[in-house]
Amino acid sequence: MDRHTLFANYVNNHPEAIGKVVDFDADHDRLYHFDLTAANKELTAEVINKPWMFSQLVNEKLHDNNCRYGIGGYMEHRTIYAFSSHFDTDDEPRRLHLGVDIWSDAGTPVYAPLDGIVHSYQDNNTIGDYGPTIILQHDLDGLTLYSLYGHLSRKSLKGLFKDMPVSKNSQIATIGNADENGHWPPHLHFQLMFDMEGKQGDYPGVAKFSEKEIWQKNIPDPGLILKFPQAVNVG
């Protein structure tokens, strides 16, 4: 049985083991879907290259649609990464988003959705990168799963240590602002991996679109953990 099937089976058979990543309340909160592909004509080069304008656009969409959180991104082919050389390569630029983005205010609490330990953490302090990042390790009945939390506040890294135990639904971080999170509008990059491939405190969150099938083998859909309802708007 492959790891994707084992993971899905664990989630389905152990619903009590799955907690929250943010304080989303399906009974009261609305969820806005952000499209960060070329289809979104509001994402002009000027908006993408000015964090304050990008943040203003995100805030307006959430406010106008009465949404506490925005969502989007798993295996999405995005155009917004052209603003940073961090995503350039010699042949094909990286444009495939591997995780899920949860858009909300800076300071929004972030939680561990599963019991586990701190695998690694660091401040990936480059324009366009994750900024402060935490990676947790989980044991799902023998299946190892890693969860990555990027674009955090710098204070989120204080007091952490390798192999530090974390409990389901315990707060592990807060969402950072644009001055500390890689120059992005405030949001959480949430990503799952089966194999860290020897990396510490970092793992690619954007890859070459031509390699999508390769990345999908190691990166399951975070929606299995989030269990968010259908977004109320697309735009």
Q: What is the pLDDT of residues 87-97, one digit of tens each?
A: 455 566 767 99
What does the pLDDT read at residue 141?
96
pLDDT at position 209 = 87
| Position 41 confidence tier, pLDDT thresholds 50, 70, 90 | confident
CA distance 228 to 221: 12
Structure tokens at 72: 């989007």
Q: What count of Cα atoms within 13 Å lies in the side-chain half-sphere of residue 74?
A: 16
Please tell me the distance from the alpha carbon of residue 161 to that of residue 181, in angstroms, as a whole number. 21
pTM: 0.92
Of 40-49, 100-109, 126-135, 196-205, the poorest mean pLDDT is in: 40-49
Name the amino acid, one letter, at 79: T
40, 128, 202, 210 from 227: Cα distances, Å: 25, 28, 25, 28
* % of the chain with per-residue pLDDT over 70: 92
**pLDDT recorded at residue 77:** 84
Cα–Cα distance measured from residue 72 to residue 102, given in angstroms and rounded to the nearest whole number: 7
- What are the pLDDT digits (tens) for 142-187? 999 999 999 999 999 999 999 999 999 999 999 999 999 988 999 9
Q: Does domain 3-234 have CATH number 2.70.70.10?
A: yes
Say if residue 18's pLDDT is above 60. Answer: yes
Question: Mean per-residue pLDDT for 131-143?
Answer: 98
pLDDT for 42? 84
The C-alpha angle with vertex 197 and arms to 191 and 203, in degrees rounded to 5, equals 35
Higher-confidence residue of 162 and 42: namely 162
Please name the residues in contact with 113: beta carbons below 8 A apart, sequence gap of 6 or more. Answer: 18, 19, 20, 21, 147, 168, 169, 225, 226
- Mean of the per-residue pLDDT values of the chain: 90
Burial level of 157, CB count in 10 A (0-12/13-18/19+)?
Answer: middle
Report phi then psi at 234, rounded to 5: -125, 130
Domain spans of the chain? 3-234
Tens digits of per-residue pLDDT, 70-120? 998 899 888 765 544 444 555 667 679 999 999 999 999 999 999 999 999
> Which residues, at least 6 apart from 199, have a Cβ–Cβ distance to it below 8 Å?
120
The continuous run of DSSP H or E covering 101 comes out as strand 100-103
Q: What is the DSSP letter of 154?
A: G
pLDDT (0 to 100) of residue 81: 56
2-6, 10-14, 181-185, 191-195: least confident range: 181-185
Phi/psi for 35 (5° steps) reads -100, 115
For 183-216, what is the HEC assignment? CCCCEEEEEEECCCCCCCCCCCCEECHHHHHHHH
**pLDDT value for 26:** 85
